[in-house]
Amino acid sequence: MKRTVSVKETSLRDHYRKGDKVELTISDIAEKDQCFGRLENGTGVFVRGMLAVNDSVRAVIRKVRAAYLEALLEEVLFPSPDRVEPECPVFGVCGGCKWMHVRYDAQLRYKKKKVQDALVHLGGVQDVHVKPVHHAPAITHYRNKVEFSCSSKRYLLPDELTQTVLDKSKNFAIGFHAPGNFEKVLDIETCYLAKGCMNRALTATRQFALDHSMSPYAARDHEGYLRNLALRYSEEDDMLMVNLVTSWHDASLMETYREHMLASMGGQPMTIVNNVTTRKNTVAVGEEEYAVHGDGVIQERLGELVFRISANSFFQTNTRQTEALYSGILEMAGLQPDDTVYDLYCGTGTITLYLAGQCRHAVGIEVVESSLDDAADNARSNGIGNVSFYKADLKNFHSLLETLEAYGFPRVIVTDPPRAGMHPKALTTMVRLQPETIVYVSCNPANLARDSKDILAAGYSLTEVQPFDMFPHTSHIETLACFRRKA
């Protein structure tokens, strides 16, 4: 009797070709804006598209890998109960919000699973308990900073591709870069993550730019005047910062822009600055800065602390959730009055200053000098004297240990590394100090999982994992992980 050969026993390339269509039900969220499901024969498929768990879909195969397929969504056949109608009219074209089509409670469920799966499958952490995600108090209009890009090439919406006459010029756009396209920008009328006053400033600036024939920047040719509109907002003072980034400074034009904005913004308190850059990139950071209206700074309160924020300062973009996150750090740290605590990758010192009120001395370590200048200014303005800030590349921070001995070795270390995670040398130095408690602040579950392996191997237990949803409608998740040294 002839035995039936299954797909698993032969190469997938013997059964599937690029362009084939398959039907499946989505069972999980994957990385890189993909979802995952299996065909009836068990073959795994990664599907790119705006999907939700339990969507039944038809997809077109784009790549046949050795162990799985990659496909592009063609049609949702039966929508998931997790689906909702997205509020934004350009959802799916704009790359900012990936999950606006998913109910918020389901977003939180997906994000918790993302953290749990990373720790278990990538970190090898056993018996890990991830707490429910700390939800955001607002899921739209929550960002205190938004950067819009300008371009001489407007990204055309799908229905515009067949139009012979366009309602808007295709030679001017101010909005967000189309996903995967460095030179074309999607012209945005309203961003549903930005504050209302930010959207009004966007409308007013677009109208001024068009009325005054301001040439938008061409990323490929490196020509043009208008580069970015970067907006920041202080909830403490209801103050808007408008930062127009240009290729050169035109004092007369900026004065006219100032008058236009004051007349257009309905009495909104604001400061206006002009950052000027000649760099051949699309980053909204200037080499020179001119105050056009006001003193060019805003301030924001986190708990009892007030922080001064300039146009190019780093500050968390969700103010209310940041307060919850920092309270979580304090709770996990369990500081005592006589403690010394280190804050690694301290940035502008916001976490360091939060910690300082609960301990004898807090030490912040950071490589970016301008951030350390802001940290020192924030300490002075808040009257906090039991903090010290040091410049060091964290991979070499062992070179500071002799200097830091004067404060005593830390009982607690807080580390808030960039998305790439801790440098291996920094992690080695951290665990060699053998603090009783390590609080790891992570914006990338995969790298938290990777670093957890080394921390656990150094004699620690992972005692608490608390995710925070800093960015509703996106796939990003911030996580606090608490490690305690074993007795």
325 Cβ contact partners less than 8 Å away, ≥ 6 residues apart: 134, 316, 441, 468, 470, 478, 480
Q: Is the four-CA dihedral 253, 257, 263, 267 of positive or negative sign?
A: negative
Going by C-alpha positions, the residue among 427, 434, 435, 418 that lies closest to residue 454 is 427
- Per-residue burial over 54-89, b if 16 or more Cβ lie within 10 Å, else e, is bbebebebeebeeeebbbebeebeeebebbeebebe
In angstroms, the CA 24 to CA 27 distance is: 9
Catalytic residue (choose from 97, 346, 359, 443): 443
- The string of DSSP codes covering 105-159 is HHHHHHHHHHHHHIIIIIT--SS--BPPPB--S-SSS-BSEEEEEEESSBPPPGG
DSSP 217: P
What residue type is assigned to position 277 of the chain?
A: T
Give the phi and the psi of residue 114 in degrees, each rounded to 5: -60, -45
Q: Is 150 a catalytic residue?
A: no
Angle at 210 between CA 209 and CA 213, to 5 degrees: 80
In angstroms, the CA 324 to CA 6 distance is: 52
Contact 88, 100 (CB under 8 A): yes
Q: Is 289 helix (H, G, I), strand (E, B) or coil?
A: strand
In angstroms, the CA 453 to CA 459 distance is: 11
Going by C-alpha positions, the residue among 403, 384, 377, 380 that lies closest to residue 392 is 403
Sequence-separated contacts (24+) of 264-268 with Cβ below 8 Å: 264/200, 264/204, 264/207, 265/197, 265/200, 265/201, 265/204, 265/240, 266/200, 268/197, 268/200, 268/238, 268/240
Strand ranges across the sheet with 412-415: 387-391, 361-366, 340-344, 412-415, 437-442, 478-485, 460-468
102 Cβ contact partners less than 8 Å away, ≥ 6 residues apart: 52, 82, 83, 84, 110
The token duo for 339 is 């403690």
What residues are labeled active site? Answer: 443
